[in-house]
Structure 1
Amino acid sequence: MKKYDLIVIGGGAGGLTAAAGGANFGAKVALIDKASFGGDCLWTGCVPTKSLIQSAKIVQTAKKASHLFDLEVRGVPNFKAARDRLNESIATIQKHDDDQRFIDMGIDVYHGSATFKNENEIKINGETTIKGKRIVIATGSRPMIPPIDGIKETGYLTNETALQLDKQPESLLVVGGGPIGLEFAQSFTRFGTKVTVVEMGATILGKEDSDLVPYVIDSLKSEGVQFITGAKVVKTALTSAVKEVTIEQNDQQFVLKFDEILLASGRVPNSDKLELENTDIKTNRGYITVNKKLQTSVPHIYAIGDVNGYYPFTHKAGYEGKLVVSNAVFGLKRNADYTNLPWVTYTDPELFHLGLTEEEARKSGKKIKVYKTPLDDVDRFVSDHETKGLIKIIADEKGVILGAHAVGPGAGDFMQEVVFAKQFGHKIGSISNVIHPYPTHVGGVQRTADLYWREKLASSSIMNVLKNYVKWFR
């Protein structure tokens, strides 16, 4: 039986980071995945969906150009071409995660299903057994299939299968108004599909700042997406190749017909096939319970990424992969800290989120200041004729950044300066003092930070002293 300092189960962002980090520091590492490395992000998540979003944006830009500049655009967008483009993206990026790269690092690579024989031994495909001093579980998650009557018989799409369609459906029901559902809804709409989104909550994107969500809703509605909120799908049936969907809203039921149904109402952790019953590892609804050091209830076993239930983002898994190397390989006791974890919803306009929303900040009991800049006050957005959006920074009385949010074209990029400032303790006023090129989109961030000094000086007694000094100096 082969013995290792570190066994990593799962070849996604977190697992690959942990395995590579351990090997780089001299640990003997085994890396196990049932398929090719890269995880959900590469094969069915971040990479292909962003490629699809970009293809849909090109189509939308062509339509927009035809109206603005008297161009003639004919024909129907070829969805298969978009599928081929995203597959090209996957193939290119996958080269960075192929087996040989990790073999060259000295890592032993195994492909197959991993199960726990006991708390130190892992079986691969029920045959090979290896032993690890430390073990990292990084098995990710998969789409949740809600308990809708008839859904299996009717058939459905998920983010995994929707990406490999040869042709876009004429009509599509998206079940779930979160980031995944909305990104697909807008993309398919731009390719000509008639899309309806059903969301159980009172509004879509319920975890986002309420000032910004309306911009996303208005944009999607203007492109033809229809929303049914405060509602749920209770039943589906297949009739003459059309899918009849029974929707319940306000205690009333009605039936709509669609060509396809896309389920985007959540994720479930991939922990059910690990045979955790052979260990003392505790779970909650399938998510592996971990402490702040990412240890499970069995101290030498760690869980990172989607499988531990904290924030289902690739960049969060990568962060945890680095942290677990410190703790599992070096024996340090570093805590995971998600205070400065940003995320982006890649609709058009993009929606950026960092830290507390205004609602959360007010509930915290802290005295806060809120600084807002609409994009029509930012020269670069004006010159681009892309003025629908908002930048919002929330700070305490001393200017410490508590949260930052933005909605607009490229918000996920132009707000990165605020991520740096918040993480390293720079106050909002520091951003104002940075020299930014003109005109750029990030100028909107500086303009928002300028509001801090404007307010501070206007409300300060020192202003009267300065005014008197200026009068004397003149």
Structure 2
Amino acid sequence: MKTYDLIVIGGGAGGLTVASGAASLGATVALIEKNSELGGDCLHYGCVPSKAFIAAAKEVHQAQRAAEQFGFELNGKPDFSTAMKRVKDAIAHIQVHDSKERFTKLGVSIYHGEGTFKDKHHVVINNREIIKGKKIVIATGSRPNVPPIEGLKEVKFLTNESIFDLKNKPDRLLVIGGGPIGLEMAQSFARFGSEVTVAEAGPTIFGREDEDMIPIIKKELEKEISILYNAMTKKVEANAKGEKVVTIKQNNELKTYTFDEIIVSAGRKNNIEKLGLENIGVDVDKGAIVVNDYLQTSISNIYAIGDINGNFPFTHAAGMEGKVVVRNAVFGIKGKVNYDHTPWVTYTDPEVYHLGLTEQDAKDKYGEEFRTYKVAMNDVDRFIADRNNVGLLKVITKKNGHILGAHAVGKNASDWMQEIVMAKTNGLKIGSISNVIHPYPTHAAIVQQTADLYWREKLFNGSIPTITKKYIKWFR
């Protein structure tokens, strides 16, 4: 039996961060991955392929807009297979960074198969080989949740794990679920010419975002896709033509629709069933492994990171958690996980960016003891020049200027919002960004203009103008 300092179960973003970090620092590491390649959901089915597809759809959309605005004609239809090839190429290119060879060279022992706990130090691989680990990290991620809709499992449907195997664009597409993945895919398919309907069970989309962001992104998306709110998909069946006949209940009324393809985007389900957690007594709550601030489970030598712990289900958060675990599990230097400065982005067009508290969160926590600063895209010269000026930036601070949250809807918000993340992470006040020189004209100028509002409020309201007026009069 082989013994390791650290066993990592799951070769996705979080697991690879732990394995590479621990091995690079001299620990003996075993990595167990059920698939033939490393990289996890993000590389093969999520972040990477979806962004490649979104980029292709955006190019098609921009070409169509240019033809409309500049009065020339486009001939033919966009080649859907070209977009799918781009997706595969992107995966293959990035796979090199997550290759088995790279991790083997780092000294990581790679095992392919399912890992199941025998006890708190021993893991059985594929019911055959047993390995021992002083510390063990669970990073098995999640998979698409398939809701119990009548007839759904009897017809062919798509999830994020099968979308990118499509050969042809569907003419009529239903997306069940109006979450980030569903909306990103819905808009992209619409840009390739699909007639897209989103069935969202709730009364709105982007329910976790700041209230000022929701109307903006809803209006933009509804220009391209049809969204049914308070819509429950009740039944799915195939007709003689192979089409999907779907019954949807909306506002107590049943309606029947016909589609060529269905994408199920109704949340995620954690991959915990085959771990044998019941064998060792690891606490689980609502399908997620319970962890403390150090990412330890109820058994102290076992850690859980990424989607599996239910805290912050994003790839970049899993990577951050992986770094915390390397520090805690390998060196025993206690470090707590902190999500206060961890943003997320929904990559629709325009993008939706979220950092920290929303205004409602701030009201609940601080009452009226906070400030908000807002700048619209149509007040920023670069967005105006680009003729892409739909959107808003909103920063929420304490009264002293320390940043509580920042939210945006706008073109490429995932890029220019990072300046605020940097400031918040380092405890800087929003006003500090006002002093940073930004080239003119840039999209990031919106961040500086928002910071300028802080100084405008400080300097031009209250007693300061009265004092400076007297000083200037005396000085002259």
**TM-score class, shorter:** over 0.9
Q: Which residue of 1 aligns with 2:236?
A: 236
In 1, the alpha carbon distance for the partners of 2:220 and 2:87 equals 24
Instruction: Specify the code of the residue in structure 1 equivalent to 2:443.
Output: H
How far did residue 285 of structure 1 move?
2.5
Structure 2 SS opposite 1:470:
helix
How far did residue 237 of structure 1 move?
1.0
How far did residue 70 of structure 1 move?
2.0
How far did residue 404 of structure 1 move?
0.1
In 1, the alpha carbon distance for the partners of 2:323 and 2:97 equals 18
In 1, the alpha carbon distance for the partners of 2:269 and 2:436 equals 43
How far did residue 59 of structure 1 move?
0.4
Post-superposition CA distance 1:302-356 (Å, at most 9, x none)? 0000111112100000000000001111112211111111000000000000001
In 2, the alpha carbon distance for the partners of 1:222 and 1:252 equals 25
Post-superposition CA distance 1:33-56 (Å, at most 9, x none)? 011100100000000000000000
Within 5 A, what are the aligned runs for 1:242-391?
A: 242-366=243-367, 367-391=369-393
TM-score after normalising by structure 1: 0.98
Q: Which residue of 1 aligns with 2:115?
A: 114
How far did residue 393 of structure 1 move?
0.3
Structure 2 SS opposite 1:163:
helix
Q: Which residue of 2 aligns with 1:23?
A: 23
Q: Which residue of 2 aligns with 1:419?
A: 421
Instruction: Specify the code of the residue in structure 1 equivalent to 2:312.
Output: Y
Post-superposition CA distance 1:435-464 (Å, at most 9, x none)? 111110000010011001111112231211
In 2, the alpha carbon distance for the partners of 1:176 and 1:211 equals 22
Stretches of structure 1 that go unaligned for 5 or more consecutive residues are: none
How far did residue 82 of structure 1 move?
0.5
Q: Which residue of 1 aligns with 2:40?
A: 39
Q: Which residue of 2 aligns with 1:394?
A: 396
Q: Which residue of 2 aligns with 1:79?
A: 80
Post-superposition CA distance 1:164-200 (Å, at most 9, x none)? 1011100111111111010000000000000011111
Residues matched between the structures, number? 473
In 2, the alpha carbon distance for the partners of 1:181 and 1:247 equals 17
How far did residue 24 of structure 1 move?
1.3
How far did residue 127 of structure 1 move?
1.1
Structure 1 SS opposite 2:31:
strand
In 1, the alpha carbon distance for the partners of 2:161 and 2:470 equals 67
In 2, the alpha carbon distance for the partners of 1:347 and 1:316 equals 20
Structure 2 SS opposite 1:387:
coil
Equivalent in 454, 459, 464 of residue 456 of structure 2: 454
Instruction: Specify the code of the residue in structure 2 equivalent to 1:374.
Output: A
TM-score after normalising by structure 2: 0.98
Q: Which residue of 1 aligns with 2:408?
A: 406
Structure 2 SS opposite 1:386:
coil
Instruction: Specify the code of the residue in structure 2 equivalent to 1:165.
Output: L
In 2, the alpha carbon distance for the partners of 1:80 and 1:213 equals 33
Post-superposition CA distance 1:21-74 (Å, at most 9, x none)? 111111111011011100100000000000000000010011011112222211
Instruction: Specify the code of the residue in structure 2 equivalent to 1:373.
Output: V
In 1, the alpha carbon distance for the partners of 2:232 and 2:460 equals 51
Q: Which residue of 2 aligns with 1:139?
A: 140
Structure 1 SS opposite 2:165:
coil
In 2, the alpha carbon distance for the partners of 1:80 and 1:386 equals 29
Post-superposition CA distance 1:399-432 (Å, at most 9, x none)? 1111000111000111000001011100011111
How far did residue 286 of structure 1 move?
2.2
The answer as to whether partners of 1:272 and 1:286 remain within 8 angstroms in 2 is no
**Superposition RMSD in Å:** 1.0
In 2, the alpha carbon distance for the partners of 1:407 and 1:460 equals 32
In 2, the alpha carbon distance for the partners of 1:141 and 1:81 equals 29
Q: Which shifted more, 310-319 or 451-460? A: 451-460
How far did residue 365 of structure 1 move?
3.0
Q: Percent of aligned pairs with the same residue?
A: 55
Structure 1 SS opposite 2:76:
coil
Q: Which residue of 1 aligns with 2:69?
A: 68
In 1, the alpha carbon distance for the partners of 2:12 and 2:324 equals 15
In 2, the alpha carbon distance for the partners of 1:364 and 1:252 equals 40
Instruction: Specify the code of the residue in structure 1 equivalent to 2:233.
Output: V
Structure 2 SS opposite 1:352:
strand
How far did residue 368 of structure 1 move?
1.2
Equivalent in 444, 449, 474 of residue 472 of structure 1: 474
Q: Which shifted more, 368-377 or 456-465? A: 456-465
Instruction: Specify the code of the residue in structure 1 equivalent to 2:384.
Output: V
Instruction: Specify the code of the residue in structure 2 equivalent to 1:375.
Output: M
The answer as to whether partners of 1:137 and 1:301 remain within 8 angstroms in 2 is yes
In 2, the alpha carbon distance for the partners of 1:109 and 1:162 equals 29
Stretches of structure 2 that go unaligned for 5 or more consecutive residues are: none
In 1, the alpha carbon distance for the partners of 2:297 and 2:236 equals 40
How far did residue 363 of structure 1 move?
1.5
Q: Which residue of 2 aligns with 1:176?
A: 177
Instruction: Specify the code of the residue in structure 2 equivalent to 1:343.
Output: W
How far did residue 376 of structure 1 move?
0.5
Post-superposition CA distance 1:288-312 (Å, at most 9, x none)? 1111110011110000001111121
Q: Which residue of 2 aligns with 1:7?
A: 7
